[in-house]
Chain A
Amino acid sequence: MKYTDQGQKDTRSGFGDGMTELGRTNPKVVALCADLIGSLKLETFIEEHPERFFQVGIAEANMIGIAAGLTIGGKIPFTTTFANFSTGRVYDQIRQSVAYSGKNVKICASHAGITLGEDGATHQILEDIGLMKMLPGMTVINPCDYNQTKAATLAIAEHDGPVYLRFGRPKVANFTPIDQTFTIGKALHLLEGTDVTIAATGHLVWEALIAAEALKEKGISAEVINIHTIKPLDEEAIVHSVEKTGCLVSAEEHNYLGGLGESIARTLAMHKPAPQEFIATKDTFGESGTPDQLMEKYQLNAPAIVEAAQKVIKRKA
């Protein structure tokens, strides 16, 4: 395989290490947390810059509002908590005080998706991409591994405007370059192929690469695209790929309503109508279990992608 796992790591640690670096390099960056410092890996940032950290307690609405206020005076606030409490719980605060007000707030959300695992559905938000991408002016990013999450964390500090950065809890393959440049809105072609496009985001990118290997053994040439930025979507990369392959599988750890798949479907409908299959949760809540068990049960893994690819190829006219 072209890509190798450099060692399993959690994407949230990529965020935490990114924050450590930002703490040292960008004095405008400040961090806020709603009682989840350890989960968000903020210990080093706080230790090195206690005056630039704001512990708000279990009060997420206030955290978003304070972050919006901190931008006035030139700070670049990063709010941190679990994805569920970063989005659904505070949607109106984000809508009015951040997005509509055009504030330079970075909403950084760990424990996104079903791989949160044993805590169950109350914490496994599968609707956050949809909630955030619907807000005008909001950038939505879901990096795939530790290295990319760290690079994305650094990149969003340089971007002027509100950002939703989504990452996760489990240790997963770390396979992208350690020194990568992260360009917001620019999809990455990981594998060239001719029979089917697999457009994946977040934890599903590694699964897509494994699926491509399995498809290769079946004589199927799969193109794999890493869509780390769901909004603004790299429509050109998707259309260009589907012009070649004629069909697409989208893959994400999110509900198929409102997620990456729907954004891609809209793009294809507008520019290059083609069959598409969706690897995503099918309008359901999650449940307790290990991440691997849940990915299997909810059909969010490489075997599910292989099956979807074979199916979508058959649908080509």
Chain B
Amino acid sequence: MPDTHALVTDFLNKLKKRKIEGSKATAKLTAELLRSVISQQRLPNTNQAGALIHAIKAIGDQLTAANPVEVAVGNIVRRVLHIIREEDVSLTTASIGGLSLQGLSDDDEDDDNPLVSAAAAAAAARTTLRPPSLQTLLEDIPPHSAAAAAAALHHSSSSAGDSEDKTKSTDKNSRSRKLKHNVIEAVNELIQDIATCHELIAEQAVEHIHHNEVILTLGSSGTVIEFLCAAKEKKRSFRVFVAEGAPRYQGHTLAKELVARGLQTTVITDSAVFAMISRVNMVIVGAHAVMANGGVIAPVGLNMVALAAQRHAVPFVVLAGIHKLCPLYPHNPEVLLNELKSPSELLDFGEMSDCMDFGSGTGSPLLHVVNPAFDYVPPKLVSLFITDTGGHNPSYMYRLIADYYSADDLVLQQRPTS
């Protein structure tokens, strides 16, 4: 399949060169890429889900390595893996349901085997769907438990008799197509979800914004624009302060957009955030990613805003689509999940070059320019997350995340094959 390979390398290059901006666009492209990969993947007769998961994991590994900072890629890969697992389990349980009924209606001696396998598969289904718990960790179930159960089912049914085996194999073929079909269907749904998450979040705007409120935001986020405009459409009149978000000045674009939609907007400098926050009722911002502990990777400067909001007891609300939820717990996120941009955004090279004595040869240059792209906002500074499924406390994020990802996929890196 040279076609998917080319697609993957093309996407990898784009990620590496940081040509794709914004987690939403990245998430959408990743999901579409994985969809085409799944549709072109040739599946073996047995353990299809395992094969599919393996293939997706291999690609996911490459993708996350290409841009480790863009966690949306990893999130989508994990979501797709979770979808595959779920579809596989639902197919297995469905077929087992049919089989056990068949077994019961059959003669007595065969009665044992299907029941046992059904029990095994049901257990497997439970473990896969069950959120991570200490028990599952201790039980040490192999990662492809569902697939193993399917294999067990195959064995037991083969012992049942030849005639039944033939019907099983044809059944198997249709199942393979069905799995792929179901998975692609579910991935399409996921893409749809990513596209509509703005609207779902914006619908909740009226619940949070009241008349004559003053709202502060920083930088630019499509979700924030939609959110504020949704409140505006519901005839709420309020005022928005926009901190410009240097050095990228996305606040300017945001302000322009808001004014075009008829909102009262005031642009302030980033340094005036602390001065103005005492007059603000609510801070509403977008996020780059939301971690499992409820911490937020956000555009640079937001940690400062969050601290100021905490000082003045102003609610700090983060809007995040489901694709931004990352099931990982961050370690030293200020550094490890950050990216340093070009110094030229802060300082003109030509301007400072005259006082730099490059000839002194002391080894290290005197001047460093630091231009980080993201900030980490710890969970204690966040008052509320608004996602497509509603508002959530930071401490609840890990639970929300457990609904969307399977515990086996948290680590995407493949272990060296033994």
Query: Do the two chains bind?
Result: no
